[in-house]
Amino acid sequence: MTAQQPDFINQMPSSLKPPNMQPNVVQQTKLEEKIKELKPRKKMSVGGKIAWVIVIVIVIIALVQYFNAAKYPALVQVIKEDRIGVNPTGNALDFGDLPRDKSAIRTVNLVSNGNTASYIMVWKFGGISDLISVDKNYFTLKAHTTEKLQFTAYIPNSANYQYYKGEVMIFQIPKIW
């Protein structure tokens, strides 16, 4: 029914009216409630805007560093025989086939050709992360220098006979501080 109802309907007791024919006052109250729901929210303060900009900049920097990091697949196979199987090295930290209580070493050369020093961080992920160690981590690589990182995979006696896989990420963050 429309907002304007004939007088005889408005004069009827509300118990006799159908639900959709309530007085204009009830319809107006519902309309006011809808308008309150649609009111615009308060504007964000300047401090809040600055905080959001800082968070967005940090997220962008973190994503750039993630995509620029050197990523190396890492793997080793634990075998029963007392022999060491060496696999050709390429862009992976492949430690080959190792029996329990033995180790193997792989190296990665870091080169700084820029005029700015870099802060180096090495992160290990996956099932192999507990089996490998790096000789240097969280250090500064000076400008125009080369540094050799040595990764060692040691297979403890408690290791299962299986492939252990993972990834090593090397971050080179320009040191501006």
**Looking at the domain assignment, is residue 97 inside a domain?**
yes
Residues 29 and 89 in one domain: no
Question: Which domain CATH number covers 162?
Answer: 2.60.40
The Cα–Cα gap between 106 and 103 comes to 10
Within this chain, do residues 24 and 111 fall inside the same structural domain, yes or no?
no
Q: Same domain, yes or no, for 160 and 79? A: yes
Both 74 and 32 in a single domain? no
> What is the reported pLDDT for 148?
94
* pLDDT of 172 over the 50 cut: yes
* Domain annotation covers residue 57: no
Q: What is the pLDDT of residue 1?
A: 46
The answer to whether the CB of 153 falls within 8 A of the CB of 95 is yes
Shared-domain flag, residues 83 and 33: no
Does the pLDDT value for residue 153 go beyond 80? Answer: yes
pLDDT tens column, 71-128? 999 999 999 887 666 666 677 899 989 999 999 999 999 988 888 899 999 999 999 9
Q: Which of 173, 176, 120, 175 is nearest to 146 (CA)?
A: 120
Asked if 33 and 77 sit in the same domain, the reply is no
Q: Band the pLDDT of 51: cuts 50, 70, 90.
A: very high
Residue 94 domain-assigned?
Answer: yes
Beta-strand pair 118-126/163-174: antiparallel
What is the pLDDT confidence band of residue 44, given thresholds at 50, 70 and 90? confident
Domain that holds residue 15: 7-38
Model pLDDT, residue 89: 65
pLDDT tens-digit profile of 9-19?
667 666 666 66
Residues 91, 34 share a domain:
no
Amino acid in position 160? N
pLDDT band at 43 (very low <50, low <70, confident <90, very high): confident
Per-residue pLDDT, 10: 66
| 94/151 same-domain check | yes
Tally of structural domains, the chain: 2
Helices (H), the chain: 7-10, 24-38, 46-68
**32 part of a folded domain:** yes
Higher pLDDT, 41 or 169: 169
